[in-house]
Amino acid sequence: MATLYTHQEENVAKTWVIMGVFLCVVIGLGWAISFYFNNPGILLFAVVFAVGMNVWSYWNSDKVVIALSRAKPADPVQYAELHRIVENLSITAGLPKPKVYIVDDPAPNAFATGRDKNHAAVAVTSGLLAMMDKSELEGVLAHELSHIGNRDMLVSTIAVVLVGFVALASNFFMRSMFWGGNGNREEKQNPILMIVAVAFIVLAPIVATLLQLAISRKREFLADASGALLTRYPEGLANALCKIGAYAQPMRTANNATAHLYISNPFGPKAASSALARLFMTHPPIEARIKALLDN
């Protein structure tokens, strides 16, 4: 019989399988470009640039995300109950209390950010505080603290590094093709392998993006299960997700760069109205998340 523990274990395993496939895509892209130009040294600049930019993003992720979301520090007096819940859940989870922020937005939502548990922050919208009862708010905050405890930020950062590498390397190749460059490529290379290499380079950014989104969706299932285990009351988070899913309007501060961090898609349910949109969703369907929480 499925339980929250088995959901947690399954999602950890599936996430690392996807990461393994992701690494294979990156290695395959490196092979394809090296094969085409017969010169692996041309990738050095793209690798250094991609890693450098993403390392900087990793160390400054909390500041960047807080600024993009227009979050403000939650006053410990005005939001005393919010601080108390975060502190109690942090103690239960064995985590340092993260910084607490408020986003002035009527849409119910929340996110966690930061490079590790000692440099983390959680933010909730004013709409979430107005809409949720205590058990539901605890469920949402437990979900966000689980992202911190599960080191989701590290996995997400690795995925961003890999996506950045793939995008830059593919873009480099396409620009070289446009300008007619061929490096040290030998004309007698196998034409079938050449076609495979070019096709792989063109498709790699799409595949990398889909894998990143798959990781993001698995991370949400894992945080749901971990959060429910933290509160020992999965119905609280399930009810919160039900209310969040019923809210039709997008967030005023919705941003593509930070959308994957929120507990629910900040662009609202209409953002996944088409089959193509659902393919590129940053979050699994709320109905599936509720079912996984209550199926134990």
- Give how far the C-alpha of residue 223 lies from the chain's centroid of Cα atoms, to the nearest Å: 12
Q: What residue has token string 């403000």?
A: 72
Q: How many CB atoms lie within 10 A of CB 172?
A: 18
Give alpha helix (H) positions in the chain.
4-37, 44-59, 61-69, 80-93, 126-131, 134-149, 152-178, 191-231, 234-246, 275-279, 286-294
Q: How many helices (H) and strands (E) does the chain have?
A: 11, 4
Tokens for 127, please give them: 């709409």
In angstroms, rounded to a whole number, what is the distance separating the alpha carbons of residues 38 and 263?
Answer: 45
Rounded to 5 degrees, φ, ψ at 99 are -65, 150
Q: Is 144 a catalytic residue?
A: yes
Q: Which of 136, 138, 144, 220 is catalytic?
A: 144
Q: How many CB atoms lie within 10 A of CB 204?
A: 22
Angle between helices 44-59 and 152-178 (to 10 degrees): 150
- Which amino acid is present at 122? V
Q: Could you give the residue numbers annotated as active site?
A: 144
